[in-house]
Each structure stands twice: as C-alpha cells, then as structure tokens.
Structure 1
Amino acid sequence: MVIVETTIVPLGTGNPSISSYVAACHKVLQEESRVRYQLTPMGTIIEGDLDIILQVIRKMHEVPFENGALRVSTTIKIDDRRDKVATMDGKVNAVQEKLAK
C-alpha cells in the first residue's frame, strides 16, 4: 500500500477560484471504493494500491479539461514504504505521539 499526494490545478479557466474543479475531481474519488482519500487545503492524499491510484489520478486529471480548462498541471508525490505497512492515519499518529512527549 502506498500513500500519494496529488494536486490537480486547472489553468486557463478565466477565474482564480478552482473549488468547483476540485469538487468535480473528488466526485471521481467518491465513486472509487478501492482507495481511501483525504481532502486537504492544498491537495488530496490517497491511500491504496499504486496502480489503482495512478488510474484514479489519470481520471481526475481529465476532469478539468471536461469542464472547460485549457491546461491542467498535476503534481504527484508517492510515499512507497516496503519495510512495513504505512497508512495516512499511522503517519499522523506517529508525529502526534512524538509531540505528546
């Protein structure tokens, strides 16, 4: 299982607000039961099988084009840990435990 952070930014929309594009991208995630995800103020974190996540991000990348964007910039950051199972919750909990000490 991997944890991926992605940010999909539509360009050439004529409007500085992109929340409607973000919401449309998240509809793709809502329809996908094979991954867990978390919306953050600056992007989206997705947890699951890497091949499935990349397929989902590919679908999300197309959404702004389908909604009128002339250009789309998609950033993907992959955390692939193989020595133990890593999860979104586990990463956050590890930091919070250290802060509590």
Structure 2
Amino acid sequence: MPLLEISVVPIGTDSPSFSTQVTNAVRIIEEKDLKYELTPTSTVVEGDIDHLWEVAKEIHQEAISTGPERIVTNISIDHRTDKEMNMDHQIDTVRKELE
C-alpha cells in the first residue's frame, strides 16, 4: 500500500507555531479513516494512491483557508509496485536489521 509523508508549513504568521495546521491535518486523515503515524516533523499516511492524493489536497486547502498568506506543503509518496508494503512492515524490517 502506498505511503504519503506530508508536512504543512504556514509562512507569514505572527507565531512560529503550526500545531493548529497539524491538528487540522490529522482530523482530516481520521475523517477519511486512513491509517497514519504522526512524527515530530511530518505525518505519514497509508492508503490507496487516489485517497492519498485527495487527502494531501484537502490538507493543503484547509491549511490555506486558516489565514496564512502562504503555505508550503511538502509531500513524498513511496509507492511500490513489485510487492505489498505498509508502515508496519517498513518499521519491522528496520528493527530486524538492528537486532
């Protein structure tokens, strides 16, 4: 299953904080019933590629609607076609290598 990593950064606000944008993004992801992992600097979402594009667009549009004059949305998509993958498998693979 493809993975989307997304981060939203508002620019031109009175505060260096952007936890509101992150909270709004997570709410959107939860409403779509998608599996996700919140990290300190981004959010990783697992799902069908069409759903991932939709959720990325919705997160970006929500962030811009909250008032900042500029939003930078960074996305990265990891989409394997040779075999199935998911977040748990990716993490488990690295942990096994560390043993």
Global fold match (TM > 0.5):
yes
Partner of 2:91: 92
Following the alignment from structure 2 to structure 1, what is the Cα–Cα distance between the partners of residues 44 and 52? Answer: 10
Identity %: 35
Following the alignment from structure 1 to structure 2, what is the Cα–Cα distance between the partners of residues 5 and 36? Answer: 12
1:41 aligns to what SS in structure 2? Answer: coil
Matched, 1:3 2:3: yes
Structure 2: runs of 5 or more not aligned? none
List per-residue Cα deviations over 1:4-29 (Å, max 9, x = no partner). Answer: 11111111122101111211121111
> Which residue identity does 1:40 align to in structure 2?
T
- After the TM superposition, list the runs of 4 or more consecutive aligned residues in structure 1 that deviate by more than 4 angstroms: none
C-alpha deviation, 1:45, in angstroms = 0.3
C-alpha deviation, 1:71, in angstroms = 0.7
Structure 1: runs of 5 or more not aligned? none
> Which residue identity does 1:60 align to in structure 2?
I
Following the alignment from structure 1 to structure 2, what is the Cα–Cα distance between the partners of residues 69 and 47? Answer: 28
